[in-house]
Structure 1
Amino acid sequence: MKKYINRLFALTALLIVGAACENDAELTYLKDVQFPSEIKITPSTTFVLLEDNADTDAITISWDKVTFPIEAPVTYAVQFDVPSDITGSNAWLNATRIEVGQDVLTKTFSVRDFNKIATDLGLPADKANKLIVRVEAQMDRKVFSKNVELTITPYEKAIVFGEIYMPGSYQGEWNVETASVLTAIEKGVYQGYASVLPGYGTGFKVNTARNWEEFYGSSGGDNIQKMNTTDLQMPGEGSYQIKVNLNTLKWSATAYAWGIVGTAQTGGWDNSTPMSYDHQTKTWKVTADLVPGALKFRLNNKWDVNYGPKDATTNTINRDDQGSYTITEAGTYDVTFTIDETDPNTNGYPATATCTIVKK
Structure 2
Amino acid sequence: MKKHINKLFVLGSLLFLASSCETEGQLTTLATVTFPSSIEVSSSTIVLKEDTSEQSALLVSWPKVTYPIAAPVSYAIQFDLPTDITGSEAWAKSKRVDVGEDVLSKSFTGFELNKIATDLGLKPNVAGELVIRVESSMDHRIYSDPVTIKVTPYLKTVVIGEIYMPGSYQGWAVETAAALTEIQLGIYQGYMTLPEGAGPGFKLNKGRNWAQFYGAGDTNADLKNMSDTDFSLPGAGSYQIKVNLNTLKWSSTPYAWGIVGTSQAGGWDNSTPMSYDHQTKTWKITTNLTPGALKFRLNNSWTINYGPADPSTNTINLDNGGAYDIPEAGLYEVTFKINETDPTSTGYPKTATCTIVKK
SS of alignment partner, residue 349 of structure 1: coil
RMSD: 2.9
The letter for the 2-side match of 1:71 is A
Residue number in structure 2 paired with 1:180: 178
Whole-angstrom distance in 2 between the partners of 1:268 and 1:89: 50
The letter for the 1-side match of 2:181 is T
Residue number in structure 2 paired with 1:76: 75
Residue number in structure 2 paired with 1:119: 118
Question: Shift in Å at residue 106 of structure 1?
Answer: 1.8
- When normalised by structure 1's length, the TM-score is 0.86
Which of these residues, 195, 198, 201, is aligned with residue 199 of structure 2? 201
Per-residue CA deviation, residues 292-345 of structure 1 (Å, 9 max, x unaligned), is: 5544333333444333333343333333x3422142435344332222233234
Question: Shift in Å at residue 241 of structure 1?
Answer: 1.3
Whole-angstrom distance in 1 between the partners of 2:244 and 2:34: 43
The letter for the 2-side match of 1:113 is E
The letter for the 1-side match of 2:175 is E
Whole-angstrom distance in 2 between the partners of 1:232 and 1:80: 41
Whole-angstrom distance in 2 between the partners of 1:344 and 1:278: 20
Matches within 5 A, 1:315-354: 315-319=314-318, 321-329=319-327, 331=329, 332-346=331-345, 348-354=347-353
Residue number in structure 2 paired with 1:46: 45
Residue number in structure 1 paired with 2:228: 229
Residue correspondences, number: 357
Residues 200/34 of structure 1: CA separation in 2 closer, same or farther (3 Å cut): farther
Question: Shift in Å at residue 167 of structure 1?
Answer: 0.7
Matches within 5 A, 1:29-178: 29-42=29-42, 44-83=43-82, 86=85, 92=91, 94-171=93-170, 173-178=171-176
Question: Shift in Å at residue 26 of structure 1?
Answer: 3.8
User: Is contact 1:76–1:104 with CA below 8 Å preserved after alignment?
Assistant: yes
User: Is contact 1:289–1:330 with CA below 8 Å preserved after alignment?
Assistant: no
Residues 242/295 of structure 1: CA separation in 2 closer, same or farther (3 Å cut): same
Per-residue CA deviation, residues 206-226 of structure 1 (Å, 9 max, x unaligned), is: 111111121111113211112
Whole-angstrom distance in 2 between the partners of 1:293 and 1:82: 52
Matched, 1:19 2:19: yes
Residue number in structure 2 paired with 1:309: 308
Residue number in structure 1 paired with 2:278: 279
Whole-angstrom distance in 2 between the partners of 1:85 and 1:296: 43
Matched, 1:358 2:357: yes
Whole-angstrom distance in 2 between the partners of 1:90 and 1:269: 44
Whole-angstrom distance in 1 between the partners of 2:79 and 2:239: 31
Question: Shift in Å at residue 157 of structure 1?
Answer: 0.3
Question: Shift in Å at residue 282 of structure 1?
Answer: 0.8
Per-residue CA deviation, residues 13-65 of structure 1 (Å, 9 max, x unaligned), is: 233223223334444544344332221101x2222212132233211111122
Residues 147/266 of structure 1: CA separation in 2 closer, same or farther (3 Å cut): farther
User: Is contact 1:54–1:112 with CA below 8 Å preserved after alignment?
Assistant: yes
- When normalised by structure 2's length, the TM-score is 0.86
Residues 314/182 of structure 1: CA separation in 2 closer, same or farther (3 Å cut): same
The letter for the 2-side match of 1:105 is L
Whole-angstrom distance in 1 between the partners of 2:137 and 2:269: 23
Question: Shift in Å at residue 266 of structure 1?
Answer: 4.0
User: Is contact 1:299–1:306 with CA below 8 Å preserved after alignment?
Assistant: yes
Per-residue CA deviation, residues 223-272 of structure 1 (Å, 9 max, x unaligned), is: 11121121111111121111112222211112222233445444444443
Whole-angstrom distance in 2 between the partners of 1:12 and 1:209: 86
| Higher deviation after alignment, 28-37 or 187-196 | 28-37
Matched, 1:211 2:209: yes
Residue number in structure 1 paired with 2:187: 189
| Higher deviation after alignment, 135-144 or 103-112 | 135-144
| Higher deviation after alignment, 151-160 or 50-59 | 50-59
The letter for the 2-side match of 1:49 is L
Whole-angstrom distance in 2 between the partners of 1:272 and 1:25: 45
User: Is contact 1:164–1:208 with CA below 8 Å preserved after alignment?
Assistant: yes
